A = this chain, B = another copy of it.
Amino acid sequence: MSYFDAASAAPLHPVARQALLASLDDGWADPARLYREGRKARMLLDAAREAAAEAIGCRADEVVFTTSGTRAVHRGIAGALAGRRRVGSHLIVSSVEHSSVLHSADLLEAEGGTVTQVPVNRVGAVDPTGYANALRPDTALAVLQSANHEVGTVQPVGEVAEVCRAGGVPLLVDAAQSLGWGPVEGAWSLLAASAHKWGGPSGVGLLAVRKGVRFAAQGPADERESGRAPGFENIPAIVAAVASLRAVRAEAAQEAVRLRELTQRIRARVPELVPDVEVVGDPERRLPGIVTFSCLYVDGEALLHGLDRAGFSVSSGSSCTSSTLTPSHVLKAMGVLSEGNVRVSLPMGAAEEDVERFLAVLPGAVAGVRESLDAPAPETAAGAGEIVVDSLGKRCPIPVIELAKVFAQVPVGGTVRVLSDDEAARLDIPAWCEMRGQEYVGEEPARRGTAYVVRRVS
């Protein structure tokens, strides 16, 4: 098997494994206790905190260990919002944040606060002026990821931090995808991260809150981790997390070059090997290991299964996967094709020959899914007047396949109305138009579902 889903969870780094084993014997006791076992546990915890702070680029007393990246985000946002309650309850986030951020924003709205989502461009990046324009007198907090988890696009965190600092608003950076590659630059106020993204064990997140940032931990009081992360500390996992962070950092510069070359190869060659593919995300400002593309007329879940059978573990932001019925909010915010979406995220140490094998296997896997769905051939011809395609009750990628099939009969200047009640169509029909150089006229409410109107221009 080739595991190409490091952005979900990286395999345990050998250093993490060693450190975990070594600290199981010395790190199980309560670090708040005065006796020998407690003092040993405390020493391990203190040393881990020092090393984590050094890797983050902050003071040790600014770092607490949480039990996951999600928890670091949840507690960081809740604490920062509460700390600035007197200022107001307006939160700024980008439209492509991790669900842990967006769910925190939903909760704020449910409790009467307000949220501004800063949009992204077609490669998934925010514009710092978007944050500047969103700032209000009652803005309590802004949140931005260091890099996107689905498409790898690196965000202009340093510039956004400057904008926020000028506005007197703290910025929380979700560094889950990037901390293994290096510290987050700029004047951020809070930072969240997740150990299992860099090869540390599950069960460890980091939350850094710079001195001077107003912060009021929420939930029941607890004396552990400066009151910011309740519950007994998992010290062996914390030690393993920090040891592996240091290890991956030591390899990061060299490995970044190598993985960047491999993902560049995928970016360049997939569109050559597979017809009707859109590679998404910023081609330059991106994480070394992530590359994402979408395949027209392809059911994402079927493609994942096909690749799994061929020995490749990848992820998908398509609506056509069993875990969700709506397309990835990231692809949606970028306005790119979501159907047949594949995210390849290479773990450190990924082998070149596995990437080559992936490129060899992919065309057949895509063609197999398209064949099973009776998808149109890559090119087609002309017909006459407005054609109505009834795709009601059919799921992604069927509406786009049916659109493409009838398109050959449409004369230049003629239109097709696709009736669909599948949420993915709203994203994928305009994306198909952009890929095909056809005009997307717009959508209209229909008796059932929505009518998506496309005009043939060439």
Determine whether A165 belongs to the interface, using a CB cutoff of 8 Å to chain B.
no
When the two chains form their complex, are residues B24 and A12 in contact, meaning their CB atoms are under 8 A apart? yes
Contact check: which of B9, B203, B236 meets A67 at CB < 8 Å?
Answer: B203
Determine whether A233 belongs to the interface, using a CB cutoff of 8 Å to chain B.
yes
Contact mask A371-405 → B, CB, 8 Å, 1/0? 00000000000000000000000000000000000
Contact mask A78-89 → B, CB, 8 Å, 1/0? 100000000000
When the two chains form their complex, are residues A231 and B219 in contact, meaning their CB atoms are under 8 A apart? no
When the two chains form their complex, are residues B74 and A236 in contact, meaning their CB atoms are under 8 A apart? no
Q: Quick one: copies of this chain in the complex?
A: 2
Determine whether A326 belongs to the interface, using a CB cutoff of 8 Å to chain B.
no
Known contacts A35-B304, A230-B74; A220/B103 CB under 8 A: yes
Chain B residue numbers with a CB within 8 Å of A117 are: none
Chain B residue numbers with a CB within 8 Å of A35 are: 3, 5, 304, 307-308, 312-314
Contact check: which of B8, B12, B34, B104 meets A322 at CB < 8 Å?
Answer: B34
When the two chains form their complex, are residues A233 and B202 in contact, meaning their CB atoms are under 8 A apart? yes
When the two chains form their complex, are residues B36 and A220 in contact, meaning their CB atoms are under 8 A apart? no
Interface positions, chain A 184-205, Cβ under 8 Å from B, are 194, 196, 201-203, 205
Known contacts A24-B12, A196-B28, A231-B67; A107/B220 CB under 8 A: yes
Minimum CB distance partner of A240 in chain B: B24
When the two chains form their complex, are residues A231 and B9 in contact, meaning their CB atoms are under 8 A apart? no
Contact check: which of B17, B25, B232, B313 meets A202 at CB < 8 Å?
Answer: B232
Contact mask A425-445 → B, CB, 8 Å, 1/0? 000000000000000000000
When the two chains form their complex, are residues B70 and A67 in contact, meaning their CB atoms are under 8 A apart? no
Taking beta carbons and an 8 Å cutoff, which residues of A are in contact with B? Answer: 1, 3, 5, 8-9, 11-12, 17, 20-21, 24-25, 27-30, 32-38, 67-71, 74, 78, 99-100, 103-104, 106-107, 194, 196, 201-203, 205, 219-223, 230-237, 301, 304-305, 307-308, 312-315, 321-323
